[in-house]
Amino acid sequence: MIRLVPDWLLYIVVITVVVFVLFRVDRRYDAPETLPDAPQTGSYLPPPSQYDPAVLVEVGPVASGMGSAFAISPDGWWLTARHVVDGCDAVGLVVSRGQAVRVLDIKRARFADIALLKTESAPLSMSLDTSERRFQIGQRAFHVGFPQGRPGEAYSRLIGRETLIARGRYALEEPVLAWAELGRTSGLRGSLAGISGGPALSANGQVIGITVAESARRGRIYTAAPSSILRLLRVEQIQATGAPGERLTPDNYGQVSDDMRRNLAVAQVVCVTGHDTPGT
């Protein structure tokens, strides 16, 4: 039987945390100007290097908030960003208005900003593409989730690798993929905060990364590398068994993203900390 997080826990988060800003490279709130959608050409993505540019992020203190996650197996395994669920006293996945399925287990990577969540089951799971050395500079990615706590999405083109250096509540260094934002949901302006933990998908509907950070000033989106995802799955001995989704284009990605959220392949994550609980 599905166990639900009590409604008051969800309401506290929704009311007190309208926008979850926990892991962002800068604090400029204006959306970047839309870039030209150049032809999809370029060399293959090189392997990580000590000479890759570095991007520094500050991991804020533990706080209640919201993020995104996506299912990778029918038996209830989901992927998200580590900073979305790290330090939470309770974590749930929103399944309908006012109701959230309780997360039964969390497995956090120590080497990357990614985490696994366990629920009793998942209605629809997504396929992973971990062949990152065959990725091409300039290829497209479609980022799906709940920016600013609402359904939304963006799309981008690959510009290369960078090294993400996290400091603050925890410290780590990891290779990430850097993407130049090309466009986003009509009417969505400002930070993409809340999309963290959501999937980055290729045009063929497979997951090629997890959105973990943004730089609104530079118009950049950063995703955890597929190699980091594969490493966590191997460490935890979990097999991803999802199927590729519908093909995505700049014309249909909004509708396809809505279908993913409606089918609960992509869900909103709720994090509740103890200081938000009545009586504490």
The 10s digit of each residue's pLDDT in 177-198 is: 999 999 998 788 888 999 999 9
pLDDT at 276 over 60: no
Looking at the DSSP bridge assignments, the partners of residue 268 are 68, 94
Report d(CA 269, CA 267) in Å as an integer. 6
pLDDT of residue 41: 60
Is a pLDDT exceeding 80 seen at residue 33?
no
Helix, strand, coil share (%) of the chain residues, nearest 5: 15, 40, 45
pLDDT digits (tens, 9 = 90+) for 234-265: 999 999 999 889 999 999 999 999 999 999 99
pTM attached to this predicted model: 0.85
> How far is Cα 240 from Cα 134, in angstroms, rounded to an integer?
20
- pLDDT score of 256: 96
Q: State the pLDDT confidence band at 89, using cuts at 50, 70 and 90.
A: very high
34, pLDDT greater than 70: no
What's the confidence (pLDDT) of residue 216? 84
Compute the mean pLDDT over every residue in the chain, rounded to the nearest whole number: 85
State the Cα–Cα distance between residues 63 and 86, nearest whole angstrom: 9
Give residue 275's pLDDT: 56
Question: What are the structural domains of the chain?
Answer: 4-31+50-275 (2.40.10.120)
Q: Are strands 152-168 and 54-59 parallel, antiparallel or unpaired?
A: parallel
Q: How many helices (H) and strands (E) does the chain have?
A: 4, 15
